[in-house]
Every structure is written in C-alpha cells, then in structure tokens.
C-alpha cells in the first residue's frame, strides 16, 4: 500500500485505532512466522508443526480467561488432549 501511495503521490489515509490494531497484528504475524522458520531450522518438523497447529486451543484458553467464555465438555477434552500431546512430543526417545 505504501508503494501505491508513494507512486500516485496521494495523501496517507487517517490512522485510527483499527489501523493501529492492523499494524500491530501484522507485526506479530510476521514475528510469528520468523519464529516458526527458526524453529524448523533448529528442530524436527515432525515436532514443530504439530505444536504450531495448537493455536486454536491456545485461543480458546485465552478467550476463557480474558473474555470469560464458557468451554464445553468436548472443547475441554480436546484442549486437555492437545496439552498432553504437546508434552508427549517434547520427550526425547
């Protein structure tokens, strides 16, 4: 977007709360991707990739803590199994 603005010499759009949130989300997303690549460089893909796909469980736990959302029985069992799986993946054999 910056390239287009500079090319056409238009004024920058006003920066509001939504724009700041989008910029922060983009920065965190980029940092997350860099950490993911670094983890793949240093660890086994068979361990790193299953751990990275646990983000829905983390999101559900954060929503439960911050937003006071209720977790259903099946969701609770799924989150517990995901935590157990991540612990089992961390053991070296």
Q: What is the mean pLDDT of residues 1-14?
A: 72
pLDDT digits (tens, 9 = 90+) for 16-64: 888 889 989 999 999 999 999 999 999 888 888 888 888 888 888 899 9
How buried is residue 47: exposed, middle or buried, by Cβ count under 10 Å (0-12/13-18/19+)? middle
Q: Are residues 38 and 60 in the same domain?
A: no
Residue 92 lies in a domain: yes
Residue 78 lies in a domain: yes
Is pLDDT larger for residue 8 or for residue 64?
64
How high is the pLDDT of residue 93?
A: 66
Helix (H, G, I), strand (E, B) or coil at 9: coil
Is pLDDT larger for residue 91 or for residue 81?
81
Domain that holds residue 68: 54-93
How high is the pLDDT of residue 38?
A: 95
């Amino acid at each position: 977007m910056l390239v287009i603005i500079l090319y056409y010499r238009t004024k920058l759009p006003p920066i509001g709360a939504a724009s700041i949130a989008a910029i922060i989300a983009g920065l965190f997303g980029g940092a997350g991707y860099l950490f993911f690549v670094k983890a793949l460089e240093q660890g086994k893909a068979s361990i790193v990739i299953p751990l990275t796909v646990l983000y829905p469980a983390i999101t559900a736990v954060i929503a439960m803590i911050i937003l006071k959302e209720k977790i259903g029985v099946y969701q609770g069992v799924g989150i517990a199994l995901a935590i157990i799986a991540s612990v089992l993946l961390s053991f070296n054999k």
